[in-house]
Chain A
Amino acid sequence: MAEEGGKPEGEGDKKVVHVYPLVKHSDMVEEMRTEAIELSITACEKYAQNYELAARTIKETMDKKFGTYWHVVVGEGFGFEVSYETKNILYLFFGGNLAIVVWKCS
């Protein structure tokens, strides 16, 4: 893995794998974004071993909170090209190796 490869050659402080949530892209309003991030983190921490379940949890909660239909991808490696309702996408890195894409499209 890249980060493992990066560790030995980096300096001491760079060896630390960052696990904080990093929003790569989002056009959500502030309120929704914070909620979605929090939700994603909770789900991914809860189901650290089962990404499918994590994704399902996020999706269902988002559906309830912000209306249908939300789509969630949780994974370590994938490509995506989605069309979504503007102001309803969140592309988040978390835990150093996890990417979460949440978008709404009904």
Chain B
Amino acid sequence: MPMKMSPDRTKRNTMQFQGKQNSQGKINASDYGTDDFESWMKSRALLKPDDQLELTEAELNEEISKVLTIQNTNVVKNLVIYSFTEGGYVPVPPVGNTVTLFNFEGTALHLESEEAQNQILEQGDESYLMEETTKSKARASIAKSGDEDDDDEEAQPEAGEAEPEEEGEVEVEPEAEPEEEEGVGEDAGEGGEGTEAGEAGEEEDEGRVAAPQPGGKKRKLINQFNYCERAALTYNNPSRSVETQTIPPPRSTYGGNVLQWVIYDSYAEDYAQQQKEKEKEKKPGAYKKEESKKKSDKNQATEELNKRYLQCWQILERMINQNIYDDIAQDYRYWEDPSDEFREEEGTLLPLWKFSYEKTKKMTVTDICFNTLYYDLFAVCFGSFDFMKQFAEGAVCLFTIKNPSFPDYRITCESGVMCCDIHPKYPFLLAIGLYDGNVAVYNLQIGCKDPIYMSQGVNGKHAEFVSEIKWGPDLQDGEINFYSISGDGKVFNWVLMQNKLSITTIITLFLEQDMIRGPDGTEIKLKGCGSCMTFHPTNREIFLVGTEEGFIYKCSTAYSSKYLMTYPAHYLSVYRIDFNKFNSNIFASCSGDWRVKVWEDMRSDPLFIFDLGSRVGDVKWAPYSSTVLAAVTSDGKVFVFDLNVNKYKAICVQAVVSRRKNQLTRLAFNDKLPFIIVGDDKGTTTSLKLSPNLRLRVKPPKKQQNIDQNVLQVQKLEKLLSLVRELPEGKNDNDTATTVGS
């Protein structure tokens, strides 16, 4: 701020050392009289700094005058500089007293400035200019009169520059602003003006608003060099800071002490180690054995311990289950349907436990198989028959009736499991067939995680789903083997070699019809589509094959190109075939054409036909009676026949699962206990107790009390068969099935 001080404004200040009194205070004191002042002074204890000078009265009263001048005494006056051009010293022009603290160059033009005049003239609106100038002049005079009380110098509107002097501000701003604001936008200019400016501003405002109206044009007085249209101004993105921080690399700490003896010891130790290793290398075999032995010993110990724990837990689990399902257990053991005594030819099924596994709840039970040694244990295969609804994985669960809540063994596979069989001689061997055509053998003693054998390669498996798998009798040199049949029409024999499965084709099921011409001229022999297979109980070379075409072929493992017998059995796919347990010449078959048929070997007509009213998923002969067979249908019913009691009707028809939701798929008789298990398409296996009427035993005749039950059963069947055989052939031919379905 420029220091402008006229000499007449210079004041003489009297310096008072005694107090904080300013000049104002002194004046007051003299005005009011000394008494008041004295008393006021006395009431205050004045604080003195320690190092204050002690002055005499005379010294205190001495007047010291200080003069403020407009000259800066610190400025050197006679400054010279050597000039080479003139060859002598030249006085430097004196430095001004002005110090610039703030400098701001405005973009506004003063209305009366030369440039503004020129612009207005260029636009050719002189009337506006005239009016404007007169207005501003009038205003200037008003401003002058208003500010006259103050010092003369400050009231200088002519200076024009926006000098931020205290009083000048009021004067200058209203002048500068309207122009600036007008350039930007009239409305905004007026708003700002009203608040800031005083009377003069308001007055001017009126003139300003009025001014452009006569011209009818909007004026813009702009500095052409640095003016920028508002519309052309782009939005400036505010700068912002974005920070990220990476995770510092992990750190660890390590420490140690280095001493000569530490180094020596380390070397000694390392050297000893090296020597040892050299020794070991000399006899590596011996050492390795030792080590592995140690390891295996340790592992074995922990494994055994774990096994024992597991066993304990299993027992505990079974005990808990027994307690939970106590009523079922009681029913199973003791409840014999008392009404059977009064119903002559009927029986009932009592539902017992239900077995299901959480992960296989949506899958279909594709096969059920009882263990041959542990008769309470059975395997349930989970997969799907539906081509369109295959699951990503399949499973086999081995349940025991002692623990209905959770399977004892669980095997999961990459594809749906379609069938399984437990070896009759080695009850720990489980063979399974998968939907993708692979077969696998599990040893339940070793574990359920990995199969001990698995078919490998495209040529080492079936081309379609494996529909049934059966263990065969051991080969001559004791090799374990099994047979499998698949939808691709082939029967394979698999032999469990040392470390792999060896595969042999037993028979390819060609249809007994001529070659068919393909579109490109190649001739194709059509293959049958194998759907089930069962071995002759006594002659293990002979087996029966059911196909989806509805034929049953009697084949032999010895001949790969010929059927021993062809039965035109069904109109739809044959689902299962089962040999009678007492007479190996008799077998039953079931099919999708709703029928169960009972056949005799080498007799192309069935002995019995039963129509069950819906697809028959499975049929089985009872192990305890030669004339009892059971079947399950897709409408959720179990049919039990006793041909000895009723040749035309089932003696028990019972819906086991809800007819709408579930279908029954498979059935199995327990060999020792009087119950059956049935599987449905929702992954549930139900066990059912057979009521006394369903398991009638043959009463030995009074004369021959000691005759074996087996013989009696065989006799019973023979008797029945002789009756049927006597029937005229024609009766069966016309296929008038006995409809049993309700």
Do A85 and B250 have beta carbons less than 8 Å apart?
yes
Do B251 and A84 have beta carbons less than 8 Å apart?
yes
Do A91 and B254 have beta carbons less than 8 Å apart?
yes
On whether A2 and B261 interact (CB within 8 A), knowing A14-B268, A22-B266, A85-B249, the answer reads: yes
* A1: interface (CB < 8 Å): yes
* B255: interface (CB < 8 Å): yes
Which residues of chain B come closer than 8 Å to A2, judged between CB atoms?
259-261, 264-265
Centre residue among A14, A25, A93 by max chain B CB count within 10 A: A93
A91 to B264 CA separation, bound complex (whole angstroms)? 15
Which residues of chain A come closer than 8 Å to B250, judged between CB atoms?
85-86
- Min C-beta distance of A8 to chain B, whole Å: 14
* A48: interface (CB < 8 Å): no
A30 to B400 CA separation, bound complex (whole angstroms)? 54
Do B264 and A3 have beta carbons less than 8 Å apart?
yes
Do B263 and A97 have beta carbons less than 8 Å apart?
yes
* B253: interface (CB < 8 Å): yes
A17 to B266 CA separation, bound complex (whole angstroms)? 12
Residue of A whose beta carbon sits closest to that of B267: A18
Do B251 and A79 have beta carbons less than 8 Å apart?
no
* B252: interface (CB < 8 Å): yes
* Partner pick for B264 among A6, A80, A89, A101, CB 8 A cutoff: A6
Do B253 and A83 have beta carbons less than 8 Å apart?
yes
Do A93 and B249 have beta carbons less than 8 Å apart?
no
Residue of A whose beta carbon sits closest to that of B258: A99
Which residues of chain B come closer than 8 Å to A6, judged between CB atoms?
264, 268
A97 to B270 CA separation, bound complex (whole angstroms)? 15
Which residues of chain B come closer than 8 Å to A83, judged between CB atoms?
251-253
Do A80 and B260 have beta carbons less than 8 Å apart?
no
- Min C-beta distance of B265 to chain A, whole Å: 8
Which residues of chain A come closer than 8 Å to B256, judged between CB atoms?
24-25, 79-80, 91, 101
> Which secondary structure dominates where chain A touches chain B?
strand
Centre residue among B250, B255, B265, B267 by max chain A CB count within 10 A: B267
Do A25 and B271 have beta carbons less than 8 Å apart?
no
* Partner pick for B254 among A17, A89, A93, CB 8 A cutoff: A89
Which residues of chain A come closer than 8 Å to B270, judged between CB atoms?
18, 22
Which residues of chain A come closer than 8 Å to B251, judged between CB atoms?
83-86, 105
A27 to B270 CA separation, bound complex (whole angstroms)? 18
A13-57 with Cβ < 8 A to chain B: 14, 17-18, 22, 24-25, 27
* A77: interface (CB < 8 Å): yes
* B30: interface (CB < 8 Å): no
Residue of A whose beta carbon sits closest to that of B250: A86
* B234: interface (CB < 8 Å): no
Do B260 and A82 have beta carbons less than 8 Å apart?
no
- Min C-beta distance of B245 to chain A, whole Å: 16
How many A-B contacts at CB < 8 Å in the complex? 80
* Partner pick for A81 among B255, B260, B261, B267, CB 8 A cutoff: B255
On whether A84 and B253 interact (CB within 8 A), knowing A18-B271, A93-B266, A93-B267, the answer reads: yes
Which residues of chain B come closer than 8 Å to A27, judged between CB atoms?
252
> What 1/0 flags go to B256-282 for Cβ under 8 Å of A?
111111011111101100000000000
Do A3 and B260 have beta carbons less than 8 Å apart?
yes
Residue of B whose beta carbon sits closest to that of A2: B261
* Partner pick for B258 among A17, A76, A81, A103, CB 8 A cutoff: A76
Which residues of chain B come closer than 8 Å to A89, judged between CB atoms?
252, 254
Do B255 and A93 have beta carbons less than 8 Å apart?
no
Do A93 and B263 have beta carbons less than 8 Å apart?
yes
- Min C-beta distance of A18 to chain B, whole Å: 4
> What 1/0 flags go to B150-161 for Cβ under 8 Å of A?
000000000000
A103 to B254 CA separation, bound complex (whole angstroms)? 10
* Partner pick for B259 among A18, A77, A98, CB 8 A cutoff: A77
Which residues of chain B come closer than 8 Å to A3, judged between CB atoms?
260-261, 263-264
Do A84 and B252 have beta carbons less than 8 Å apart?
yes
A2 to B260 CA separation, bound complex (whole angstroms)? 6
A27 to B266 CA separation, bound complex (whole angstroms)? 18
* Partner pick for A78 among B252, B258, B264, CB 8 A cutoff: B258
Do A25 and B254 have beta carbons less than 8 Å apart?
yes
B216-264 with Cβ < 8 A to chain A: 249-261, 263-264
Do A82 and B255 have beta carbons less than 8 Å apart?
yes
Do A22 and B267 have beta carbons less than 8 Å apart?
yes
A90 to B259 CA separation, bound complex (whole angstroms)? 17
* Partner pick for A82 among B253, B264, B268, CB 8 A cutoff: B253
Centre residue among A80, A83, A99 by max chain B CB count within 10 A: A99
Residue of A whose beta carbon sits closest to that of B271: A18
Which residues of chain A come closer than 8 Å to B265, judged between CB atoms?
2
- Min C-beta distance of B250 to chain A, whole Å: 4
Which residues of chain B come closer than 8 Å to A24, judged between CB atoms?
256, 266
Residue of B whose beta carbon sits closest to that of A1: B260
A50 to B260 CA separation, bound complex (whole angstroms)? 18
Which residues of chain B come closer than 8 Å to A96, judged between CB atoms?
263-264, 267
Which residues of chain A come closer than 8 Å to B254, judged between CB atoms?
25, 81-82, 84, 89, 91, 103
- Min C-beta distance of A51 to chain B, whole Å: 12
- Min C-beta distance of B268 to chain A, whole Å: 7
Other A-B pairs beyond A6-B268, A75-B258, A84-B252, 9, CB < 8 Å: A2-B261, A18-B271, A76-B258, A79-B256, A81-B254, A81-B255, A85-B251, A93-B267, A97-B260
A-B contact pairs, 19 of them (CB 8 A): A2-B264, A22-B266, A25-B256, A27-B252, A77-B258, A77-B260, A78-B257, A79-B255, A80-B257, A80-B258, A82-B253, A85-B249, A86-B249, A86-B251, A89-B252, A93-B267, A96-B267, A98-B263, A105-B251
Q: Hey, which bits of chain A sit against chain B, CB under 8 A?
A: 1-3, 6, 14, 17-18, 22, 24-25, 27, 75-86, 89, 91, 93, 96-99, 101, 103, 105
